[in-house]
Amino acid sequence: MEDHRTRRTRQVMELLRELPSEHARPGFTARVLEQLDAEPQKASRWSFRLAPALAVAALLAVAISAGALIEWQGRARKHQEEVQALQELRAEHGRLEAELHAISATSEPPVVYLGGDEQFDYVLDLGKVRDAEVVTSATPAAYHIATF
């Protein structure tokens, strides 16, 4: 098999020798030498490769900054909404407390829930009891959870 390869290699080499040889155009060497001398005056090649990388890095930095700013604004808006909701709850609490105080300050004596079972509830109206002002630890029926 090596004989066959050797023979083919010789044939290829002979065919290559028969090809006409190439010659450079006149002034080729002078032009190449001029370009080599002028190259240090031009910007180096790595700067052309560095410029797109710097542009991509700058764009990435701007995108990250914009994303962080948008996230911060969203959190600030959510915090403001929470503060507003808390203020509304406090205002409603104040109104309810004032209303409760107004109800308890009425001149009518309270109604007291005494207890009960599944069939009856026992309620005492202090307005119909003598010396109702003396009773101070009674719980009005309106304040008791078990009332209906």
Residue-level pLDDT at 94 = 92
The share of the chain scoring above pLDDT 90, in percent, equals: 28
pLDDT band, residue 68 (cuts 50/70/90): very high
Sign of the alpha-carbon torsion through 41, 42, 46, 51: positive
Burial (CB count <10 Å: 0-12, 13-18, 19+), residue 143: middle
Greatest alpha-carbon pair distance for the chain in Å reads 140
Note the pLDDT tens digit of each residue in 33-57. Answer: 888 777 655 556 666 778 888 899 9
Task: Look at residue 67 and give its three-state secondary structure.
Answer: helix
- d(CA 15, CA 9) in angstroms, rounded, equals 10
Task: Look at residue 135 and give its three-state secondary structure.
Answer: coil
Average pLDDT over the chain reads 81
- CA-derived radius of gyration, the chain: 50
